[in-house]
Structure formats: C-alpha cells, structure tokens
Structure 1
Amino acid sequence: MAAATSVDNWLPAAVRAAAVDRKLTAGEALFRSGGKTEGLLKVIAGRVRLTRVDRSGREVVLHVAGPGETLAEASLFSAQYHCDAIASTNAIVRVYPKREVLAALEEDAKAAQAFSATLAHQVMNLRTRIEQRNIRSARERVRHFLALTAGAEGRTITLRGTLKDLAAELGLTHEALYRTLAALEHSGEIKRKGSKIILAKRV
C-alpha cells in the first residue's frame, strides 16, 4: 500500500517554521478526548496511539502512529478531540498550528490535494483494519496482516513497535498474538529475527 506524502513536502515554509515540537514520556497524553484541538500533528520520534475506552472500561486502540506519520487529521475541522492520544514510548510530536494549516489548504491547491491524499491513505488503512477485525480466527487474522505488510520482496515484515502494540492494532490480546506467532513459527510458516518476521515463502 502506497504511503501518503510527507507533510514536509507540501506544507508551506511559513507553516513549518511556526511548528512546535512536544516531548512526551511513555504513558503521557498528547491530548485527551474533549480537549481543544491544536493543529496537524506529526510523530517525529517514538510511537503514539489513539485510543478510546469502551463501556467495560477497556482501552480500544484506534491507530498507532510512528515516525513520519500524522495523526488525528480530522481534528483540523473540529473544535474538540474525540479520542485520547497516548505516547506508547518516549516520543516527539510536531504540532503545526491549526490556523496556519487551514489557511494553507485554502490558498494552495497542491497542498489541499496532498492533504486529501493523506486522508485517502488513512481511509484505506481503516478499511484494512476493519477487514482484519472481521476475521474471527486469530491465526488467519495474523496471516492476513503478514501478507499485506510484507516488503517489496514479499517475505519480510519489519515490526514498527512492540508485539503488544501489534496485538492492540489487530484487536487481539497479546497472549493470543504470542501463541499464534509461536504456532506459525513451529509449523515453519515464519521465522522471527528481532523486530523482523520472515515468511517461509513469498506471498
């Protein structure tokens, strides 16, 4: 799946100059649901997860953003955030001021087009996640993820975060993910080397 264009490639220099970096420690909130929106957010280092709490009090992970990714793009058009953003690791997040970003989108057609492409990319990712969540078998859900995430050669998956992060993204408990990966490795379907998972054959 093609990556969205980096905001540094389309945001005007004046908007980039007005950006402010925020440093977060693991577990610290970047924002909370109901808080006033600040602008366009880009992860510079570390990982930040978007979450909501369900009726049972369980944290539901909506998305985990890593270096180079933007998050909560729709908040540009809302007065308040509708979820929480929590640093999964120590992180640095760049905040591009809302007023300046909206002005750039209004005045620059190329910027607006690039931002639209970013949103389209997010919709594609969301559809993939919904498709994965509808797969009942943990083994098949993990296989689906591996097949879609394999690199250009079709065999290597580099995990961006921890297995616990991946479990949350797949809607599995981390115990279920660990068991599934162990079973796939035992059957010879995959090999694990640090942060990489290597498929036994090209997909």
Structure 2
Amino acid sequence: MHQIDWISANIAASATERALRAGQTLFRAGARPAGLYEVVKGKIRLVRFDRSGREAILQLAAPGDVLAEASLFSSAYHCDAIASSEATVRLYPKPALLAELERDPKLLLAFSVMLARQVMALRTRLECRNIHSARDRVRHYLTVNADNRGRSVTLPGTFKDLAVELGLTHEALYRTLAGMAADGEIERGKGQIRILKCPI
C-alpha cells in the first residue's frame, strides 16, 4: 500500500501544494504543526542539529513518503524539514485530518496501519545502525530489502541516499561496495545491487 493511499476524498479536497527550492526549509523544530505532508516530487530530509551545528539526518523522504505524522498529536515539530532538491509537497491540514480520523473508524485504522509499518521500518533501521562494520551494515540492508528470490535489491534513490539510510558517509559506502564487488559478493548496476553470494 502506498503510504498515502488511505487519504479520503474529504481530506484530499482540503490539501494544498507548495514548491520548495533545494536547501529551503519546509518547517523548523518548535514551530506549530500545520498538518501532514506528502512528498510529491523531489526529496526532503528531516534533520536535527547538535551543539556544534552538525546536521544529523533522521529520514530522507522521497515521493510518496509522508512527513510530520507524529506532529499531528503534538504542539510542535520535533525536527527541521529541509528540501534536499527541488521539491513539491502536499499539505493535508491538521484540523481537517484529525476531524476525519475521529469521524471515520476505517480511516483511523488505515492511518494506524501506516504508523505501525513505519515503526517496523524504524526498528529495522535502528538494528542496521547498531551494526559496527560498514560491510555488515550493507549486508544487513541487502538481506532485508532483497527481492523474492533474494538476488537483487532495487535502490529507492541514489547511492548517496543509501549512505544516508545506512548512517555512513558516501565515501565509506563507495569503498565498502567496491570491496564487496571485488570479492565477488555483489555486482552494482544502475539503481540496483545484484547479490552474487549470500550476504550473511
């Protein structure tokens, strides 16, 4: 199921779209939530900054992904959302969305299913991030995301996006993939990684 397929006609009718330039901020931590955002085009990253100003990426959202779902039940955003490229987002206003969720039990169930899937995906990401070795981290990602035959993984974005997902620098990821390819574990293609040997 597409993350936003559960949106009802009433909620969709209240939606508005906004175009963002690369580097433009969609919302900031501490601001009052406007509603639920769907990424229509481009990529949006959710970030927090440490005391030194270094950026920590929490999520890289691509078309079809939703943002700020937890903030529907909060008085403030918990992070910043910044466009990583030219992007378009669709805003489903908080009042209309909450009213529909309260009115329609089926809609509420579908929303809950989406949140449950996001929790499971987050647990998988945390499991991956807790793996120390870069190579083992890549192996874990390949195992979890391989196709039904377990032979290939289609990347949802670029290799730089994959580095963000894995919590690695893109240089570390490229070195790791090059080493795995040299050892005959994988074969890299455009937007895809073929698994030649069992990753784990």
Q: Distance in 2 between matches of 1:193 and 1:90?
A: 26
Match of 2:9 among 9, 13, 16: 13
| 1:194 has 2:193 as partner | no
Q: CA deviation at 1:201?
A: 4.4
Q: Distance in 1 between matches of 2:86 and 2:134?
A: 30
Please identify runs of 4+ aligned residues in structure 1 that moved more than 4 A: none
| 1:127 has 2:123 as partner | yes
Which residue in 1 is equivalent to 2:71? Answer: 75
Assess, with a 3 A threshold, how the Cα gap between structure 1 residues 202 and 44 changes in structure 2: closer, same or farther.
farther
Q: CA deviation at 1:56?
A: 3.5
Equivalent position SS for 1:63: strand
TM-score for the superposition, normalised by structure 1: 0.92
Q: Distance in 2 between matches of 1:107 and 1:34?
A: 29
Q: Distance in 2 between matches of 1:58 and 1:163?
A: 22
- Are the counterparts in 2 of residues 50 and 85 from structure 1 also a CA contact under 8 Å? yes
Assess, with a 3 A threshold, how the Cα gap between structure 1 residues 166 and 18 changes in structure 2: closer, same or farther.
same
Equivalent position SS for 1:131: helix
Unaligned runs of 5+ residues in structure 2 are none
User: What is the letter of the counterpart of residue 70 of structure 1?
Assistant: V
Q: CA deviation at 1:202?
A: 6.5
User: What is the letter of the counterpart of residue 184 of structure 1?
Assistant: M
Match of 1:96 among 74, 92, 99: 92
Q: CA deviation at 1:57?
A: 2.5
Which residue in 2 is equivalent to 1:114? Answer: 110
Q: Distance in 2 between matches of 1:142 and 1:47?
A: 22
Unaligned runs of 5+ residues in structure 1 are none
Equivalent position SS for 1:23: strand
Which residue in 2 is equivalent to 1:159? Answer: 155
Point out the more displaced range, 154-163 or 25-34: 154-163
Which residue in 2 is equivalent to 1:60? Answer: 56
| 1:50 has 2:46 as partner | yes
- Are the counterparts in 1 of residues 2 and 64 from structure 2 also a CA contact under 8 Å? no
How do 1:13-52 residues align onto structure 2 when only pairs under 5 Å count?
13-52=9-48
- Are the counterparts in 1 of residues 185 and 198 from structure 2 also a CA contact under 8 Å? no
Equivalent position SS for 2:31: coil
Q: CA deviation at 1:151?
A: 2.2
User: What is the letter of the counterpart of residue 26 of structure 1?
Assistant: A
